[in-house]
Structures are given as structure tokens and as C-alpha cells.
């Protein structure tokens, strides 16, 4: 059932609407079974999970998850025992215009939460989003990387919420859980707002901007269903989930920054295990036809971020390595398909 959770009038008889798809158990579609969010016996309140994506208009990985998760649930509707709310486009104008932020406002939507019902247009929309998601037993905020970098599927957690969120994140079938110091957390984000309102909210980062990586999307869907099973919301088929690597120490992550401006030609993909001295790529000069510098691994570890957009300036991020770790799933097992 598609619902409009917020709408504001625009010039020229147009309207900006934020909508969601609500999927309920088969029993609740039967008029003899009652209404609302209680079970057929009318005693136990059904659990609810909210899948949120599209806060940044150039991040489309979550769009595929929104579509494909519905397909999976519809193949086994009798296995659903809770409410699934899917919000595929929190920033619909950004998606329509391929703009990361809010068009014409030079503003990141993920910096205006919790919003204000009486505020300007986007503050009003942010407030409506928060009020609609509030009460969920779990919210999953799906992001992609930008157009410059590819990230393996990972969940990022504020150190202050790790005790509550880590058990949920561990069943989400991601490769990596990155626990950040509190100083790096922005209080104006959707995830911080919902966690502060006692809605457990996981932030997923995966893939690359303006693209869909189907392998990553399917991987995350398996994790969502397994997590729903743990919450008693799903009894259908699930696949075994991966055991993620976890980083708590900021010194675990090594950043690879460009030593000069040039063209970065990568040799490895995100998810590769590396040893000290391995060639990750090369920084080249297309004018002179010379290699400016080979980019090699400064340590043993696992390459979980790699540069996709080849033009770099001095200091540009080219990759991240999780120091001293080796991942247990080979790249051949991923079977990623980009569209």
C-alpha cells in the first residue's frame, strides 16, 4: 500500500511528495482479521522495520534494495509477520536531477534533521519523515558512496550506540562494521536523530554514486531478511550471512591519499586482500605519458575502499585499507553485476 507521508506545494501546480510502500502480513489484508498494527488475535503489536534511502539524490544503491526486497517478500507473503515500510526516495527532487543535496538550496538533506514542522519546506519534510519512522523497531538508512569511490557493504556506528546496534548490525550480511568515535558523528543526521529517539538505526554504506551494484544489493537484502527473522518478522528462506570484520580503533584504517595531481589507474577492486608493497594502482601523467608514482600498499590488510573516478588532485582519497586484516570471502565469490 503506497502512502504519502508529506506533501508541499510547488510553483506551476506541482507538488513535492515523499511516499512510502507499506507491506503488511497477509492476515492483515483479510477484513476478518482486524486492522491496525496488531496481530490477528488483536493482542500483540506487530514489529515494524523501516527501510530508508534516497536522502542523497546521487546515491542509487538503495533504490535497487527497495525494489528487490519487495520482490522477495511478495514471493513468500505468508512468511511476513511484521510491517515493512520502504521509503525509496527521501529526496525525490535530488534523485530526479541527479543532485546529491537539495536542488537550488546548496544544502545536504542529511544535515537538517530532526527538522521543524513550522520551518521551511525541507525542514517541514524532515520533521514529517522523523514522525513517520518513529516507533519502528529498526530503521535501516541505506547510502552509497559518492561518484569518486566504491565502498564494500559496511555499517557505520557511533561508539555511543554500539552496545545496542552491534548485535543487529552483525546479522546484516555486510563485510565490515566501522565503529566511529563520537567526535566524527553529526547530530543533524537522520540516523543520529532516530537513535536519539530510541529507534535503533543502522547506517549502510555500499557501492558507488550514480550506479547500481546488484551484487551488493542482493547481499544486503539477505541480511535484512535474516535480521527480520531475528526480530520474529520473517519465517521465509534466508541464506547464511557473512561474519563482518569490526573496527573500533581509528588506527586500524589506513588512508591512501594522492601524493600529486594526475590520473589514478587502479589495479585492484574494493574487497581485495593486500600485502605490504602490493601495487594498488598508478598515478600517471596523460600529457607526458609517464608514471608519476606507483601506489602501493603501505601495510598488510584489506582494501575496503577504492577510487573509481580517475582524476585526482594532491591529497585526494584513493583508497582505505583495514590494517592487518584479511577477509574470508574471495572476490570470485561475490558475483557482482553492475548496471
| 159-221-20 Cα angle (round to 5) | 90
DSSP letter (8 states) at residue 201: E
- What is the pTM for the complete model shown? 0.92
Give dist(CA 294, CA 201) in Å, integer: 40
Give dist(CA 295, CA 160) in Å, integer: 36
Q: Are 335 and 215 in contact (CB under 8 A)?
A: yes
Instruction: Give me the phi and psi of 263, to 5 degrees please.
Output: -115, 120
Beta strand pairing call for 149-158 and 176-180: parallel
Q: Where are the alpha helices (DSSP H) in the chain?
A: 61-75, 92-96, 121-133, 162-169, 190-196, 214-230
Distance of alpha carbon 263 from the chain centroid: 28
- Tell me: pLDDT of 36 over 80: no
Q: Structural domains in the chain? A: 2-246 (3.40.630.10), 249-323 (2.40.50.100)
CA distances from 131 to 35, 106, 193 (A): 21, 25, 11
For the segment 66-117, what is each residue's pLDDT rounded down to a tens digit?
999 999 999 999 999 999 999 999 999 999 999 999 988 889 999 999 999 9
Residue 18: the pLDDT is 97
Q: Are 326 and 273 in contact (CB under 8 A)?
A: yes
Residue 328: the pLDDT is 64
Percent of residues, the chain, with pLDDT higher than 70: 91
For the segment 187-234, what is each residue's pLDDT rounded down to a tens digit?
999 999 999 999 999 999 999 999 999 999 999 999 999 999 999 999
Give dist(CA 56, CA 95) in Å, integer: 8
Q: Are 186 and 111 in contact (CB under 8 A)?
A: yes
Q: Are 58 and 100 in contact (CB under 8 A)?
A: yes
Using 50, 70 and 90 to split pLDDT, how confident is the model at 327?
A: confident
For the segment 222-267, what is each residue's pLDDT rounded down to a tens digit?
999 999 999 999 999 999 999 999 999 999 999 999 999 999 999 9
Q: Are 165 and 227 in contact (CB under 8 A)?
A: no
Percent of residues, the chain, with pLDDT higher than 90: 84
274, β-bridge pairs: 301
- Tell me: pLDDT of 335 over 70: no
How many CB atoms within 10 Å of residue 83? 20
Amino acid at each position: 500500500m503506497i502512502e504519502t507521508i508529506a506533501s508541499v506545494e510547488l510553483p506551476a501546480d506541482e507538488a513535492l511528495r515523499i511516499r512510502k510502500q507499506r507491506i503488511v502480513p497477509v492476515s492483515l489484508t483479510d477484513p476478518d482479521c482486524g486492522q491496525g498494527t496488531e496481530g490477528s488475535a488483536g493482542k500483540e503489536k506487530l514489529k515494524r522495520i523501516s527501510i530508508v534511502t534516497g536522502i542523497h539524490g546521487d546515491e542509487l544503491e538503495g533504490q535497487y534494495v527497495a525494489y528487490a526486497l519487495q520482490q522477495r517478500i511478495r514471493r513468500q507473503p505468508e512468511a511476513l509477520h511484521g510491517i515493512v515500510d520502504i521509503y525509496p526516495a527521501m529526496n525525490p527532487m535530488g534523485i530526479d536531477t541527479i543532485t546529491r543535496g537539495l536542488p537550488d538550496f546548496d544544502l545536504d538533506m542529511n544535515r537538517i534533521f530532526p527538522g521543524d514542522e513550522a520551518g521551511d519546506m525541507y525542514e517541514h519534510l524532515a520533521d514529517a519523515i522523523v514522525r513517520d519512522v518513529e516507533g519502528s523497531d529498526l530503521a535501516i538508512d541505506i547510502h552509497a558512496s559518492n561518484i569518486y569511490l566504491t565502498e564494500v557493504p559496511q555499517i557505520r556506528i557511533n561508539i555511543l550506540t554500539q552496545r545496542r546496534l552491534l548485535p543487529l548490525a552483525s546479522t546484516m550480511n555486510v563485510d565490515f562494521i566501522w565503529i566511529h568515535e563520537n567526535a566524527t558523528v553529526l547530530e543533524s543526521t537522520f540516523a543520529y536523530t532516530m537513535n536519539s529517539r530510541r529507534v535503533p538505526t543502522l547506517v549502510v554504506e555500499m557501492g558507488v554514486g550514480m550506479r547500481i551494484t546488484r551484487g551488493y544489493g542482493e547481499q544486503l537484502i539477505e541480511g535484512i531478511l535474516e535480521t527480520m527473522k531475528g526480530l520474529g518478522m520473517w519465517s521465509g528462506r534466508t541464506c547464511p550471512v557473512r561474519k563482518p570484520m569490526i573496527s573500533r580503533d581509528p588506527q586500524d584504517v589506513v588512508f591512501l591519499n594522492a601524493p600529486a595531481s594526475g590520473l589514478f589507474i587502479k589495479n585492484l577492486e574494493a574487497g581485495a586482500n593486500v600485502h605490504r608493497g602490493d601495487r594498488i594502482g598508478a598515478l600517471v601523467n596523460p600529457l607526458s605519458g609517464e608514471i608519476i608514482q606507483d601506489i602501493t600498499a603501505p601495510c598488510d590488510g584489506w582494501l575496503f575502499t577504492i577510487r573509481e573516478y580517475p582524476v585526482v588532485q594532491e591529497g585526494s582519497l584513493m583508497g582505505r585499507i583495514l590494517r592487518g586484516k584479511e577477509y574470508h570471502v574471495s572476490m570470485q565469490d561475490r558475483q557482482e553485476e553492475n548496471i
